[in-house]
Amino acid sequence: MKSKNMTDAQFLDLLQKVLPTVTRDTHLAAAIYEQVAKEVRLINSLKSFEKSCAEGSLPDVEPATVARYESELAERFGAENVMVTPTEKGDAVAVEIALADDRKITNRMKVVPPGEVEDEETKTPFVPFPVALPEDPDLLWVLARREDLGPDEAARALAKIEEEFWETKAGQKLLRDRVEKTFAEFIARVPAAALADSGLKRHYKAPEPRKTLRRYVPSMSEELAAIRT
């Protein structure tokens, strides 16, 4: 398992050293290494893509701008696997990326004309917005909401986004592929831009178990020892 403190380069270097000790078939070892390296690059590219959709923007939806953005994505994912389409309102472009395992990644890149870019200093900050389901209150999804968006309003917005997500083409395809219509599947697959448009943000795609902190109570012997010292 890749260590949290290990860089991708260190992980691949370690894999390259370990493989010859597991198999003497150099062709098999090379094939395994290349496939793992390919997956690592894909994961990093997808993370970068999602981050850019959440934080970045295009200046307009002119054909040249869209073509340039599509070309940038094509360099990472392959021209035949990328489709970029301006939305009807022209306030974003819809992006669809086809992966080798028949999965499709969908997201949106918003359009913000240069004169309308919000000053970094005036942006509303985000605050923690952990979410738990009634049937499993000990599992928390780590989300965030804009500070000016109340918890109840954020909850309503999240419920609406979930409902609308399953009605999208991507959501309908997931249901046809027998993906369960659950909150866990929704929060793992919903485009970051769809959350951002409503003042929400997803920190992690998987839930975290709720941890109850217990105060340390010293034993009688420890108290006596402390008194003696």
- Find, among 7, 86, 23, 93, the residue nearest to 56 by Cα: 93
| Mean pLDDT value of segment 38-57 | 86
- pLDDT digits 0-9 by tens, 216-227: 666 666 666 666
Q: Where exactly are the structural domains of the chain? A: 1-54, 56-119, 124-209
pTM for this prediction = 0.49
CB 199 within 8 A of CB 144: no
The average pLDDT across 74-90 equals: 89
Pick from 147, 127, 131: nearest CA to 139: 131
Question: pLDDT tens digits for 12-43?
Answer: 888 888 888 888 888 998 899 888 888 888 88
